[in-house]
Amino acid sequence: MFVIREVLHCRPGKVRQMIEKFRVLSDGLEGIGQPPLRLLTDVAGDPFWTLVAEATVERIEDFFAAEQKLMANEEIRNRMAGYHDLVESGRREILRIEG
């Protein structure tokens, strides 16, 4: 079992818009039978305006297969359009659940 996190450092004041875009992805995941994303925001941190989108999957391949299905959906692609303009930087973390 794996936890995959997209850690995004948003431009000032843009976290709320990014959350709405990731809710679209979360709803899309549920639509294809996957668990929804956990969406977390910083309360106090360095840097501010951080969003973490967390997915849990049995196999890493499951994450990438779901990602491909979502990006093949034109409505989701349209609703995600422009998300790069909301982000300063980001990274992906892939962690194995050990216990």
pLDDT score at 44: 84
Question: What pLDDT does residue 47 have?
Answer: 81
Q: Given the DSSP bridges, would you call strands 38-41 and 50-57 parallel, antiparallel or unpaired?
A: antiparallel
Report whether 51 contacts 37 (CB < 8 A): no
Query: Tell me: the pLDDT tens digits for 8-21?
Result: 999 999 999 999 99
CATH code, 36 = 3.30.70.100
Q: What is the tally of structural domains in the chain? A: 1
Task: For 27-63, write each residue's pLDDT tens digit.
Answer: 999 999 999 999 999 998 778 899 999 999 999 999 9
Query: What is the span of the domain harbouring residue 51?
Result: 2-96
79: Cβ contacts below 8 Å, ≥ 6 apart: 21, 24
Model confidence at 74: pLDDT above 90: yes
Round to whole Å and give the CA distance between 1 and 96. Answer: 6
Between CA 9 and CA 32 the distance in angstroms is: 28
Token pair for residue 73?
A: 């959906």
pLDDT of residue 27: 95
